[in-house]
Structure 1
Amino acid sequence: MSINRRDLFRTAGMALGVAGAGAFLSACGTSAPAAGPVRNTGVTTARPGGVLRAVFTGGGAAENLDPFGSGSPVDFVRSDVVFDSLFTLHAGEVVPALATGVEVGPGATSFTLKLRDGVKWHDGTPFTAQDVVYSFTYMSSADRAYPSELGRYFDFTAVQVRDPLTLVVPARQPIGDPALFLAAFPGKVVKNGAAFAGTTAIGTGAYQLTAFEAGREARLKRFEDHWGGKAPADELVLLSLTDPQAKVNAVVTDQADYAGDIPFTTAKTGVASADLEVRTAGEANRTAFGWVLNTTRAPFDDPRARKAVRLAVDRQALVDSVLLGYGVPGNDLLCAGAKYFSSRAPITRNVDEAKRLVAESGAAKTEVVIRTAEWEIGYNASTQLLVEQLKAIGLNARAEVVGPAEFFEPNAVAAANAVAFSSGGIPLTVMYGRLSAYPPLGLADEKLTAAFGTAVGSADEAARAQAWADVQDVMFDHGNTVVWGQADVLSLARKTVAGVDVRDQPKYPYLGKAGLA
C-alpha cells in the first residue's frame, strides 16, 4: 500500500517554521526585543468590511483548486473557506456544518445523515443529498492518485438517498462515531458534477473565488448567502510563498496582515514594529516532533531496542536547540491536545539502562538508518542530534538525509529503520488509522489492534474512552513512536487581525470569521 502523501501533508504539516528568518531580520536592521509569543492581544471579533491579506506556505505550480487533490498549507486554508465540510472539529469536538447530525444504525454498520436545509452554492443553486453522494464518489474514486481514506471505512457505492436532505451510508466495519470520521479526514462537499481543471471553483463556503494563480495568490470575495452568516471581510487575499523568511517579510513590509507558521527565530529576535505581534496558537495546538520506528525490521522489531531509543533521547536538549525553547518535551505519544490523548510525564532519560537494553537485544549488530528530510525545518537537525545520542548507547546509527520530494517514497521508507515525523493534535482515529494502514509505520500488536477496533467501533462514549486509553498504554509501554517535543505554532500578525480560528490544525487556520478590527 502506498502512503497517501496528501494526507500526510495534512498530518505532518509542512511547517518551514522552526528556524530561518534570522538572515532577513538582520538585513532589515535592528529589531525590538521580543516579549514572547502571545495569544491575540486585540479584539477577537473582526469588524465588517475591509480586505484581509494572509500568507501561507505554498506548493508552487502544483497548487490547485481540488479540495481532495491539493497538498500545501495555502491550499488547505483556501479550501476551508471555499468548501464546507459535513462536520468540523473545534477544540477536539465535532461541530455540525453542512450536516446537522447522524443516527447510528444497529451494530454501528450504517448511519443516517441529516443535511442542513437552506444551504446555497455560490451560483445560487440549492445544496442537496445528491451533492453529498457525488462528493463521496469523487473523493474515494480509484482513479484518484490518493483516494480519500473514508472509503476504507464506508461503502460509498451503496449510499441510499431517502429525500433531498437525508441519506443512509453503510459502513465496511462497525463505526461508532461516524461524524468524527467525516470531520477528521475531512469530508469536504463539492457540487454534483464538479471538476477542477481550470481556475474556477464553486462551493458553499464563506468566500467565493474570484481569481486564482497557482504559486502566487488567490482572491476571494465574501459570499453573502453563507448558511453560517456573512464573513466579516469584504475580500480575502491569500498569498503563496515557499520561503519562511519571505512570509515574515510580507507582513513586515505591509504586503500582508497575517503570516501563518513562522520561524521561531522571529519570536526570539522580535520585529521592529509596535503594530505587529508574534502569536502562539496555545498549548493545546502544539506540533509533535519525533520519529516512527520501523518494527518490521531489526533492531526495532524488538521492544527492548525501541525502549533503548526512548531512554537515550535528551528531550530538553532538543527542545532548547531545535525549537529554541518554544515548546515542551514530548511523552512519545502522538496527538497531544486531541480528545482522549493520554497526558502522562515523559520517560526519564537513562543512558545506562539504554546501553543495557542495546546489549541485551543485540541491537548493536544492526546499522540503524534514520530517514529524514527538511519536510519541516528541524527534522534534519533533530535527527542528527538523535544519531549522536544513539551512538552514545552503542547503536550504529546514521541519518539518511533526502529531499522533501522523495521523503515519503514508500519503498525507501520501508527500507529505513526509522523516519522523522510530526503531527498536530489531530483525532487519534486519524493518526492510528494512518499508521496501521502502512506496516513500516505501524505496530503489530494484538492488544493494540483489539483496543483500536473497540475505539473505532463502539457507540458508547465510556467504552471508547477506555479503549483509547488502552491503545496509548500499549504505545507508551512498548510502542514505536518517539516524540521528543511539542512545538509551539507561531504566527505574525498585525494587532488589528481578529477572528483567526483553529478547526483542524493551527498551521492551516480557518479564516471564514477573520478580518480586521
Structure 2
Amino acid sequence: MFQPFKTDPSRRQFLQLAAIAGVSAGIAACSVGGSSHGGNTVRVGFGSTRGGAFNLDPAGPNRLYEALAALYGYVAVLDDRYQPQPDLVTDWTMSTDATRWSFEVRGNVGFHDGRRLTSSDIAYTLKRVLDPATGSAGASLLSPSLDPSGVTTPDPRTLRLELKAPNSNLAATLASYQFGIIADGSGSEIAKTGIGTGPFKLEKFPPGGTVVLSRSDSYWKGPALLEELHFTPIADAGARVNALLANQVDLLYSDSLAPADLARVQAASGCRVVRVPSGTWDVIVMNCAAAPFSDVRVRQAFKAVVDQQQMLDVVLSGHGRVADNNPVAFNDPLRASAPSIRNIPRAKQLLAEAGYPNGIDVTLDVAPYTPTFLPLAQAYQQQAAEAGIRITLRQHSADNYVAETFGKANLYLDYWGPRPAAQVLNEVFFTGSVSNESHWSNSEFDNLLNQARATTDPAGQKTLYAQAQRMLADDGGAIIPVFEDIGRAVRTNVVNFPGKNQPDARPDYHTLALS
C-alpha cells in the first residue's frame, strides 16, 4: 500500500500568501530598479578554495555551490521544518515498507536549451550520481538503498524507484544540492554548460573568473526579478569584505564576518549585515586512518580539552551556539546530544593511556578562508596546551587550502553548511563516503544509520539517529565546538535576501532583487 505525500494546508496557504506578498513587494521596489554599477544585476562575492578549478556540475566534487540554486531545480526542496516539499515533481507516494517510491513529474518545466523535462531526465540524474565515475558525495546518500537498476520510467510523467533496502528519508535526500536535475545524456558537458531548469542560465564562464548568469524567461515559476547574477571568486575573507565596501560586489554569500569586519560593514554607508541563526559548523578534522588519531583515546583527549563557551565568546563574539561535537543542527527535530564538558585531567589520562604520558606534538593546518578559521585554531592551540597537547599552526593560502589538506592532512580546519540529520550523518561520516574527510569508520554507526533509514516509525527513527549522534560525538574524528550564525553582508539596495534560517542556507534567487 502506498502512502501519499500530503502538504499541511495551512502551511501551504501561508507559503503561497507569503510568496505572493514578497514577490509583489519586490516588483514594486524594483520597478525602477537597478544599481549604482548599472543594470538590474546582483554581484555575488564568494570564497573559493579550489584555485579557480570550480565547475557547474551539481553532482561533482568541485561544483560552484553558490550558483546551484540559480541554475538547477530539484525533485524536492526542504522547508524551514526540514520537511521535503515538491519542486520538479507535483506529488510522490511511498509504500508502507519504504521500498517503493513513485513520483509524478511536473509537466510545465523546460531546460535552458528548450528541452522539456521528463522522467527520463530525473532518472538519468540519479543514475549518474550513483555512478562511481562521477565521484559524487550524493552517492553515499543513495547507494545504500538504491541501485541504478531500480530506477524506471513507465512514462514521461512518472518516475519509479524500487529500492534494495528501505529508505523513508528518500524525498528529503533528493533535496540535497548534489541532485540538481540535468537533461538526459548531458553529463559530459554539464560542468561547462550549467544547463538546468533554474531561474537563471549561463552566459559566461571564464576559468577562475566571474561567472555570469542571465534570467531565464521560460522558468516555470515565472521570470526572476533580476536580469543577471554575477559570481566572483575571492578567496581571502578580508578581501571579500573590502570588495563589498568598495561597491565591487553586492553581497557576500553565506559569509561569516570577523568582529572587526562586522563593525566595518555596519559603519559603512550603503551596507548592512543580516544575521541568520544557522546550523553551520566549524570542525577540526582528525585523520582517523593515521597515527595518532587512529587511537580513539587520542581523539577523545583532543575533544576533552575544548572550552566550547570560550570559543563561542572569543571566536564568534557570542553569535552562535555550542555544538557538543554533533553536526546535526540545533533546530533539527532529530538532534540529540549530551553536553561536551571540558576535562583537562581526563585528557591527560587518555593521552597517557595512549602512550603519550608527556604530552604530544601535532601540526594543525589552517588558512584564512573564513574569518573564524585562524581565531578558532589559535583558541584551540591555547586550550589544548593545558593538557600537554603542543600544537604548531601551519598556514596555507586560502586559494589552495582544500587541495592541500582535504583528506590528506592529519589535523586541519573545515566547515560545513547546515544539512538535515540523515544527510549530514551519511554524507560526512558513513564509511566510504567521498566526503568522509576524517576517514572514520564504525560499523555500528553505519548499521544505526541503515536501520534509521529503513524505519517508517518517527519515534523509532529519532531514537536510532540519537544513538548515532552520541556515538559520533564520543568516538568520531570531528571536533565540532560551535554552530556559527551566518553574518551575511550586503549592500542596502539588495532586497528579499533571506533573513530566516533555512536548512540548506540557499538564497532564493528567483525573488532576489534590487531596490
Alignment correspondent of 1:215: 208
Which structure 2 residues correspond to residues 359-378 of structure 1 after superposition, within 5 A?
A: 359-360=352-353, 362-364=355-357, 367=360, 369=362, 371-374=364-367, 376-378=370-372
**Secondary structure of 1:65's partner?**
coil
One-letter code aligned to 1:390: A
Alpha-carbon distance in 2 for matches of 1:324, 1:207: 37
Alignment correspondent of 1:62: 53
- Counterpart among 295, 308, 311 of residue 318 in structure 1: 311
Alignment correspondent of 2:131: 141
Q: CA deviation at 1:245?
A: 3.1
**Secondary structure of 1:124's partner?**
coil
Alignment correspondent of 2:341: 348
1:109 matched to 2:103? The reply is: no
1:403-427 per-position Cα deviation (integer Å, ceiling 9, x unaligned): 61444454x35xx3x4434223212
1:191 matched to 2:183? The reply is: yes
Alignment correspondent of 1:448: 445
> Would the aligned equivalents of 1:364 and 1:395 in 2 still touch at CA under 8 Å?
no
1:353-402 per-position Cα deviation (integer Å, ceiling 9, x unaligned): 43344445544378464552325454455335434433422346555666
Which structure 2 residues correspond to residues 378-389 of structure 1 after superposition, within 5 A?
A: 378-389=372-383
1:81 matched to 2:70? The reply is: yes
Alignment correspondent of 1:500: 497
1:306-349 per-position Cα deviation (integer Å, ceiling 9, x unaligned): 44333321223333443344333332111324633436574232
**Secondary structure of 1:84's partner?**
coil
Check 1:338–1:71 CA distance in 2 against 1; reply closer, same or farther (3 A cut).
farther
Which structure 2 residues correspond to residues 123-272 of structure 1 after superposition, within 5 A?
A: 123-146=113-136, 148-149=138-139, 150=141, 152-153=143-144, 154-184=146-176, 186-194=178-186, 195-196=188-189, 200-260=193-253, 261-264=255-258, 265-272=260-267
- Counterpart among 454, 459, 472 of residue 475 in structure 1: 472
Q: CA deviation at 1:188?
A: 0.9
Alpha-carbon distance in 1 for matches of 2:440, 2:89: 35
> Would the aligned equivalents of 1:318 and 1:485 in 2 still touch at CA under 8 Å?
yes
> Would the aligned equivalents of 2:71 and 2:199 in 1 still touch at CA under 8 Å?
yes
One-letter code aligned to 2:148: F
> Would the aligned equivalents of 2:92 and 2:104 in 1 still touch at CA under 8 Å?
yes
One-letter code aligned to 2:26: A
Q: CA deviation at 1:489?
A: 1.6
Alignment correspondent of 1:435: 429
Alpha-carbon distance in 2 for matches of 1:436, 1:331: 19
Q: CA deviation at 1:447?
A: 5.0
Alignment correspondent of 2:17: none
Alignment correspondent of 1:275: 270
Q: CA deviation at 1:62?
A: 1.6
Alpha-carbon distance in 2 for matches of 1:297, 1:436: 18
Alpha-carbon distance in 1 for matches of 2:224, 2:206: 23
> Would the aligned equivalents of 1:93 and 1:339 in 2 still touch at CA under 8 Å?
no
Alpha-carbon distance in 2 for matches of 1:256, 1:400: 31
> Would the aligned equivalents of 2:70 and 2:199 in 1 still touch at CA under 8 Å?
yes
Q: CA deviation at 1:99?
A: 2.0
Q: CA deviation at 1:128?
A: 0.5
Give the fraction of aligned pairs with identical amino acids, expressed as a percent.
Answer: 23
1:63-114 per-position Cα deviation (integer Å, ceiling 9, x unaligned): 3333333636xx2222211111111223222121112333223643332222
One-letter code aligned to 2:261: T
One-letter code aligned to 1:46: G
Alignment correspondent of 2:4: none
Check 1:130–1:377 CA distance in 2 against 1; reply closer, same or farther (3 A cut).
same
**Secondary structure of 1:469's partner?**
helix
Alpha-carbon distance in 1 for matches of 2:442, 2:62: 32
**Secondary structure of 2:481's partner?**
strand
One-letter code aligned to 1:164: P
Structure 2 stretches of 5 or more lacking a match? 1-21, 34-39
Q: CA deviation at 1:129?
A: 0.8
Alignment correspondent of 2:26: 46
Check 1:462–1:494 CA distance in 2 against 1; reply closer, same or farther (3 A cut).
same
Structure 1 stretches of 5 or more lacking a match? 1-42
Alpha-carbon distance in 2 for matches of 1:294, 1:61: 26
Alpha-carbon distance in 2 for matches of 1:269, 1:251: 11
Greater RCO (CA < 8 Å, at least 6 residues apart): 1
**Secondary structure of 2:174's partner?**
helix
> Would the aligned equivalents of 1:53 and 1:239 in 2 still touch at CA under 8 Å?
no
Q: CA deviation at 1:277?
A: 0.6
1:436-463 per-position Cα deviation (integer Å, ceiling 9, x unaligned): 2248836555653443222212122222
One-letter code aligned to 2:454: G
TM-score by length of 2: 0.79
Check 1:373–1:462 CA distance in 2 against 1; reply closer, same or farther (3 A cut).
same
Alignment correspondent of 1:119: 109
Alignment correspondent of 1:39: none
* Paired residues, number: 466
Question: After alignment, is 252-261 or 362-371 more displaced?
Answer: 362-371
Alpha-carbon distance in 1 for matches of 2:248, 2:391: 45
